[in-house]
Structure 1
Amino acid sequence: MSSIWPQLEPLLGEVQKPARYIGCEDGAVVPEYHQGSVSWLLIYPDVYEIGLPNQGLQILYEILNESVDAVAERAYAPWVDLEARLRAEGLPLFSVETHRPAPLFDLLAFNLSAELVYTNVLNCIDLAGLPVRSEERTSEQALVCAGGHCAFNPEPLADFVDFFVLGDGEQVVSEITSVVQGWKASGRESRIDVLRRLSLVAGVYVPSLYEVSYDGGFVESVRPRYDDVPEVVDKRTVANLADWPYPKRHLVPVTEVVHDRLNVEVFRGCTRGCRFCQAGMVTRPVRERPAESVRSMVRDGLSRSGHHEVALTSLSTADYSGIHRVVSEAMSDPTTCGDVSVSLPSLRVDAFTVGIAAEIQRARRTGLTFAPEAATWRLRQVINKLIQEEDLYGAVEAAYSQGWRRMKLYFLTGLPTETDVDTRGIADLAANCVAIGRQYHPNPSVTVSVGGFIPKPFTPFQWFGQNTVDELRRKISILRDASRGRRGVQLKWHDPRASLIEGLCSRGDRRLGAVIESVWRRGGTFQEWSEHFAEGLWRDAMAEHGLSIDWYVHRHREETERLPWDHLSAGLHKDFLWQEWQDALQSVGLEDCRWTPCYDCGACTGYGLEHIVASATPPAGGSQGTGQVLSPDAGVPVSISSGYEAPARIR
């Protein structure tokens, strides 16, 4: 059966949002299968409207389908209504392009964007007709792999996923394809043989090839089972984004999705050094896309997709060294008739200027969100978010003066060394922003969004004991009281119980696999959705397997403790991260190394890489947290990327 569409179509009238499952997007590829090709099913373990805009999945989808040796289709986690109908009818997970059954693919590749999707991963593997545990699969069944930021601690999923990819995927997917193609050509001999070959691909981690031993509750060692398996697996890093101008054909959905706009990645990596931010740490060094490449991707993408909004994406878009010119030219491009909105979804307040505000408000104003993360200068020094209050107030005034009436501020609570003074300061800072807005509008508003801090691997805070649910609730209560009666200030917060389970999975070891499986078998899917989140299932499963939430989540780690992910490398020296943790406890900040001398964190020197920027002129915002004046004439320790050539076709 090459397509289940005849069996699926009658079911779609019985479920919510049937457009999730029909495909037919502009930009989608209906692949031609031929003997010897390697088939990938790229799976986002959440619903279609959340997963379709994911840039990583779209990039790999296009690269694989350009290859003569591979084909790729997509799948998304079916919502609970369709899942029930699929199971009742005995139908498997399927691709949205051709509705090909998942068991017919060579590889099932998951994007791990958040820890709370882990039970959905197991559910999708089961719906694909595979045993959920990798050790029970045969050589005739698909290989299961995963990537994304959560893959930097893959241990909780080690029993279920055959191999993980650490870091950037653009280059490694062709190398994986080659290994799997050879395996198929040889008659698909034992799985252990192909997994051993995959372990030799840089950036690929095969957990079943490593023996983990414990000393009491602690990880004592992680040793390769074979001499040719690497002791440490290093991440993959694409050195220059100019070589990878993807996606070229953005997927345009036929139904409403989140972030329904053209998304163009302007740079990857971040060296601001925020100590809580895993994404910034593991994606170093900074690699800016050349300005001309950004302009052509924006122009071509808008022309082909019909979108009227483009988001310039990165971890901190206003830090892009060519941001003013790129925004101005996108707004003024004659092919769009000036009817284009530009969104900068990741904004640091010290890089947002009146000039940028004036440019992006020329068309329809998009949402504006700033992320101070902490309300006091002392706590911002702890987390290394080196922005002064005048930076924030200047950015807020720039926005209000250019016509914005509403904005969002994002904060974390439960940060190391945080006091109640820091917590109350959030309400004070928000009220001050509203007061600035009243100079320009009668009813300005600020929405304050607060998330509970969750320590992540490969950050300086990986040794910190996460706040308990009760403590986070206490701090939210303090903030609610402090915000009461402040006109124009609206408060929202993330459920501390969900933060607890995310924290459990983010720093867990292999023993958590049994817990995840127990939660899944008891119906615990879509745990990132509030209506399905079930804290009790997790607590019961932890107790069932004799594991302590307090031990995994709330205790501080010591410098000498072996962490579950220490046999993997994001390029960062562990002693650098430890020193950053000690500096944080002393409220000592560290400047942005993109415009200052190297601190030898390891991300550049360890891989023979360097920062790449589009312009030698530092971006708007002056010192950018470096504590020094940066001028256009100053020398910068970076490479300048001035143009690009299209990459050769993958073969």
Structure 2
Amino acid sequence: MKKLALSDEILLQVDKPARYIGNEVNMIVKDPKKVDIRFAMCFPDVYEIGMSHLGIQILYDMFNRREDTYCERVYSPWLDLDKIMREKDIPLFAIESQEPIKNFDFLGITLQYEMCYTNILQILDLSKIPLIATERGEDDPIVIGGGPCSYNPEPIANFFDMFYIGEGETQYDELLDIYKENKKNGGSRKEFLEKAAHLSCIYVPQFYDVTYNEDGTIKEMIKNNENARDKVRKDIVLDMNEVYYPTKPLVPFIKATQDRVVLEVMRGCSRGCRFCQAGQVYRPVREKSLEKLKDTARKMIESTGHEEISLSSLSTSDYSQLKGIVNFLIDEFKEKNINISLPSLRIDSFALDIMSKVQDVKKSSLTFAPEAGTQRMRNVINKGLTKEDILNGSRLAFKAGWNKVKLYFMLGLPGETTDDIEGIMELCEEIAEEYYATVPKEERIGKCQITASTSFFVPKPFTAFQWSPMNTIPEFLDKAKIVNDKMKSMLNRKSLKYNWHEADVSVLEGLFARGDRKLSKTLLSAYKKGCLYDSWSESFDFEKWKEAIEETNVDLDFYISRQRSEDEIFPWDFIDAGITKEFLLREYHNSQAQKVTPNCMTRCSGCGANSFGGGICYENKN
């Protein structure tokens, strides 16, 4: 049996020691001495969240199919263990072998959320890897980032050797082959980076210099190495039936955030919501066949023992074989009492009919995401959802026996007015009225409960709103107060509830979402002041962040609340995400005109995604 990196004495001092000991069901074990490449796959948050991430499960299994590679996992130690590791000088270790991360060839970090950035520095620091990429030596791991935040890697570029832009199943094998060959030939770290930079989806930050205009905007990004590419192009899987997918996923010993089998039905989204980065950068839509999904579902349930299976995609309702896969899952697993989770569904008669058949569904509420309170604002953001859609869905749900509805909105959207803000509670009031008009008094199970939650809008790269200003903290809080006051004036206020997100966290998210390389100093300063787990309210400390922002001379208004000019060079313009800047600018103008752009399944709007030659967008179908 392997020797644990932490003693029993230490494990007894920390919360949830099972986070650190490994040996889960389906964990892969190899002899490190018999492989050429050791890859530590990192999710920079606690184990329970990292274990719920599908991308890591896919790459972990895919890498370990290679006989020459051993992929292991590492997560951020929670605050209690972080303190002990620093006091006792214990290096961060991989779960599988319990060996120090510094001994690995690669440290791959998934970038899911900007508020995990200080945790990235924690991972490097505890691993005793120099934080700045250019200060690393030949014996240090290659630090590579990927995931949604890599579509603007500049605020963290100084801490990474490279970024992989796009879906990992396509060029990672070639990247590992290049590394193995370079290592065999005695090549240097720099020589590997130069060879890797020839791959279309690899970005090596140290091969580029950035110059700035007097007003602080970017003047130019200049290559300082002949091996660097003019444009780094995202890479994607085109045939979802041929792509590798794990049928023996890892099963944790402690409850993860999503403790279930995840069945990915498709990638991409055709709806074109103007605020949604994922809906743009994951285009075009690519589906898996019904037969492929049936086979995968059977194998995953058998290999894990999970009692729940969830369909995964950005918009599950748009999967063309949805009825077939849901009916199959119900029929196939009804005797095993497998619960079926159906996120991202539009609430219509089909969805409600299906949900009424799956177990435990009436214990929870139904969820809508109108995003905006008025039709005018929903047209601005191209939500593609009318008030009648929402009310009709609620009416059907109430008739079917539900009496709880959750609604998600955003505050601070471009062009928002007081009427739009108050419209959030007016819509909630109308839904409550639908309940009392639809359900006879003798059939009601108490009052209905309508819960509205608002997040604060953050403009993201590669969206139509990347030119838009973001609200300040006082503006956000003033708007939340308007919603709260409006709720108190509603006739059915006892049936209404309102929650809102933290404004200071949203502002920091916006800072790093659209920031440039100059912010690396701010991030490093905040980390040295003790900022960690910034997405967790119990550890978030905005005062320390304000100190770091002031000390590094960052003008928050320049990054947050400034209107971008249409010809401005963005920090992420060197990335070809398959969506053209011309299309996004056209959508920005359409938003200002409250003009709706059709679903790409019905008409091509020329976003550029068909250049990949695959998927099922309208132009590729015709």
TM-score tier (shorter)? over 0.9
- Whether the aligned pair in 2 keeps the contact of 1:374 and 1:422 (CA below 8 Å) is yes
The reply on whether 1:172 has 2:176 as its aligned counterpart is: no
**For residues 364 and 244 of structure 1, what CA distance do their matches in structure 2 show?**
33
**For residues 60 and 72 of structure 1, what CA distance do their matches in structure 2 show?**
9
The Cα of 1:373 is off from its aligned counterpart by: 0.6
2:606 is matched with which residue: 600, 614, 627? 600
Cα distance 1:564–1:4, how it changes in 2: closer, same or farther (>3 A)?
A: farther
**For residues 8 and 145 of structure 1, what CA distance do their matches in structure 2 show?**
30
Taking the TM superposition and a 5 Å limit, the aligned residue runs for 1:268-417 are: 268-333=267-332, 335-337=333-335, 339-347=337-345, 349=346, 352-362=347-357, 363-365=359-361, 368-417=366-415
- Whether the aligned pair in 2 keeps the contact of 1:119 and 1:525 (CA below 8 Å) is yes
The Cα of 1:4 is off from its aligned counterpart by: 6.1
Please give the secondary structure, in 1, of the residue aligned with 2:499. Answer: strand
- Whether the aligned pair in 1 keeps the contact of 2:169 and 2:244 (CA below 8 Å) is no
Please give the secondary structure, in 1, of the residue aligned with 2:246. Answer: coil
- Whether the aligned pair in 2 keeps the contact of 1:594 and 1:638 (CA below 8 Å) is no
The Cα of 1:95 is off from its aligned counterpart by: 1.4
Match of 2:143 in 1: 144
Cα distance 1:245–1:136, how it changes in 2: closer, same or farther (>3 A)?
A: closer
- Whether the aligned pair in 1 keeps the contact of 2:406 and 2:452 (CA below 8 Å) is yes
The Cα of 1:360 is off from its aligned counterpart by: 2.2
Match of 1:443 in 2: 447
**For residues 515 and 237 of structure 2, what CA distance do their matches in structure 1 show?**
28
Please give the secondary structure, in 2, of the residue aligned with 1:571. Answer: coil
**For residues 8 and 436 of structure 1, what CA distance do their matches in structure 2 show?**
59
Please give the secondary structure, in 1, of the residue aligned with 2:560. Answer: helix
Cα distance 1:83–1:559, how it changes in 2: closer, same or farther (>3 A)?
A: same
**For residues 466 and 195 of structure 1, what CA distance do their matches in structure 2 show?**
37
Cα distance 1:210–1:327, how it changes in 2: closer, same or farther (>3 A)?
A: same
Paired residues, number: 609
- Whether the aligned pair in 2 keeps the contact of 1:47 and 1:77 (CA below 8 Å) is yes
Match of 1:647 in 2: none
Comparing 240-249 and 28-37, the one that deviates more = 28-37
Match of 1:487 in 2: 494
Match of 2:80 in 1: 81
Match of 1:467 in 2: 471
What residue identity is the alignment partner of 2:608? Answer: G
Deviations along 1:188-240, one digit per CA (max 9) or x if unpaired, are: x3321111111111211110001111112011111111233211100011112
- Whether the aligned pair in 2 keeps the contact of 1:508 and 1:552 (CA below 8 Å) is yes
Please give the secondary structure, in 1, of the residue aligned with 2:159. Answer: coil
What residue identity is the alignment partner of 1:424? Answer: E
1:555 is matched with which residue: 562, 566, 569? 562
Match of 2:614 in 1: 609
Please give the secondary structure, in 2, of the residue aligned with 1:74. Answer: strand
Match of 2:39 in 1: 40
- Whether the aligned pair in 2 keeps the contact of 1:114 and 1:150 (CA below 8 Å) is yes
Match of 2:457 in 1: 453
What residue identity is the alignment partner of 1:457? Answer: P
Comparing 488-497 and 277-286, the one that deviates more = 488-497
- Whether the aligned pair in 2 keeps the contact of 1:345 and 1:368 (CA below 8 Å) is no
Deviations along 1:375-406, one digit per CA (max 9) or x if unpaired, are: 11110110000111111122222333333232
- Whether the aligned pair in 1 keeps the contact of 2:261 and 2:306 (CA below 8 Å) is yes
Structure 1: gaps spanning 5 or more residues: 613-635, 641-651
Match of 1:9 in 2: 8
**For residues 246 and 146 of structure 2, what CA distance do their matches in structure 1 show?**
18
Taking the TM superposition and a 5 Å limit, the aligned residue runs for 1:251-266 are: 251-266=250-265
The Cα of 1:100 is off from its aligned counterpart by: 1.8
1:190 is matched with which residue: 173, 188, 191? 188
**For residues 285 and 8 of structure 1, what CA distance do their matches in structure 2 show?**
49
Identity %: 36
The reply on whether 1:110 has 2:115 as its aligned counterpart is: no
- Whether the aligned pair in 2 keeps the contact of 1:331 and 1:360 (CA below 8 Å) is no
Please give the secondary structure, in 1, of the residue aligned with 2:176. Answer: helix
**For residues 510 and 450 of structure 1, what CA distance do their matches in structure 2 show?**
31
Cα distance 1:6–1:39, how it changes in 2: closer, same or farther (>3 A)?
A: closer
**For residues 46 and 324 of structure 1, what CA distance do their matches in structure 2 show?**
36
Match of 1:238 in 2: 237
What residue identity is the alignment partner of 1:446? Answer: I
Comparing 95-104 and 141-150, the one that deviates more = 95-104
The reply on whether 1:580 has 2:587 as its aligned counterpart is: yes
- Whether the aligned pair in 2 keeps the contact of 1:318 and 1:344 (CA below 8 Å) is no
What residue identity is the alignment partner of 1:200? Answer: H
Match of 1:29 in 2: 28
**For residues 507 and 153 of structure 1, what CA distance do their matches in structure 2 show?**
7
- Whether the aligned pair in 1 keeps the contact of 2:35 and 2:67 (CA below 8 Å) is no
The Cα of 1:28 is off from its aligned counterpart by: 1.4
The Cα of 1:416 is off from its aligned counterpart by: 0.5
**For residues 418 and 79 of structure 2, what CA distance do their matches in structure 1 show?**
41
- Whether the aligned pair in 2 keeps the contact of 1:199 and 1:229 (CA below 8 Å) is yes
- Whether the aligned pair in 2 keeps the contact of 1:36 and 1:181 (CA below 8 Å) is no
Match of 1:121 in 2: 120
- Whether the aligned pair in 2 keeps the contact of 1:595 and 1:637 (CA below 8 Å) is no
Comparing 9-18 and 550-559, the one that deviates more = 9-18
What residue identity is the alignment partner of 1:248? Answer: T
- Whether the aligned pair in 1 keeps the contact of 2:195 and 2:227 (CA below 8 Å) is no
Match of 1:158 in 2: 157
The Cα of 1:7 is off from its aligned counterpart by: 3.9
Comparing 123-132 and 538-547, the one that deviates more = 538-547
The Cα of 1:492 is off from its aligned counterpart by: 1.1
Match of 1:621 in 2: none
Taking the TM superposition and a 5 Å limit, the aligned residue runs for 1:198-209 are: 198-209=196-207
What residue identity is the alignment partner of 1:368? Answer: L
Structure-1-length-normalised TM-score: 0.91
Match of 2:220 in 1: 221
**For residues 407 and 306 of structure 1, what CA distance do their matches in structure 2 show?**
31
Please give the secondary structure, in 2, of the residue aligned with 1:487. Answer: helix
1:505 is matched with which residue: 506, 512, 517? 512
Please give the secondary structure, in 2, of the residue aligned with 1:454. Answer: coil
Deviations along 1:513-537, one digit per CA (max 9) or x if unpaired, are: 0000000011101011111112222
- Whether the aligned pair in 2 keeps the contact of 1:375 and 1:422 (CA below 8 Å) is yes
Please give the secondary structure, in 2, of the residue aligned with 1:463. Answer: coil
Please give the secondary structure, in 1, of the residue aligned with 2:390. Answer: helix
